[in-house]
Amino acid sequence: MKNTTILVMMVLVISLVGGFILIKGNNVNGNVVSGTEIPPTTQQGQIQKVVLSQDGYNYRDSVAEAGKPIEISADSSVGGCLRSVVFDIEGKKYSKYLKTPGETLELPALSKGTYAFSCSMGMGYGKLIVK
C-alpha cells in the first residue's frame, strides 16, 4: 500500500474511535457532587448545590452539609476529562459528564465524612467534605 493510503486509513480509524468516545461520554447517567461552600439558605430536606472547580490537574476540595441531598455542577474552570465526575459511595457509583454548568449530578444525603471522587479516567481527584 502507498503511504498516503495508510495515512488516510489511520485518520479514519482515529476519527471513528474519537466519535464513539464522544457519543458514549454524553450518554453517561448518574449523579455528581461538587462545590466549595454550604449555601446559607439550605433548609431541612432541600437539595444543596455544590459547584466543582479545577485546581491544576485536580478538583478543589468541596464542602457540603450532612443529611441533605446534594446537587453537583461544574464551573467553567473544569475542563477535559474532569468534566466526567465519578463518586463511589458505599459501593454505589454515581457519575455524570457535566458538559455545561447547567447539568448536575445528584447525590443522596450523606453522613459526616470525607468522600473522594475522581474523573472518569482516574487522572484527576477531589474531596467532598461533609460536615
24 and 35 share one domain: no
According to DSSP, the β-strands at 58-59 and 48-52 are unpaired
Cα 124 from Cα 56, distance rounded (Å)? 9
66 and 109 share one domain: yes
Question: Residue 81, SS3?
Answer: helix
93 and 53 share one domain: yes
* Structural domain containing residue 97: 31-130
CATH number for position 113 = 2.60.40.420
pLDDT in tens, 44-79: 458 999 999 998 999 999 999 999 999 999 999 999
pLDDT in tens, 85-119: 999 999 999 999 999 889 999 999 999 999 999 99
For residue 66, give the nearest of 113, 29, 21, 1 by alpha carbon.
113
50 and 72 share one domain: yes
- Given pLDDT bands bounded at 50, 70 and 90, which one contains residue 3? confident
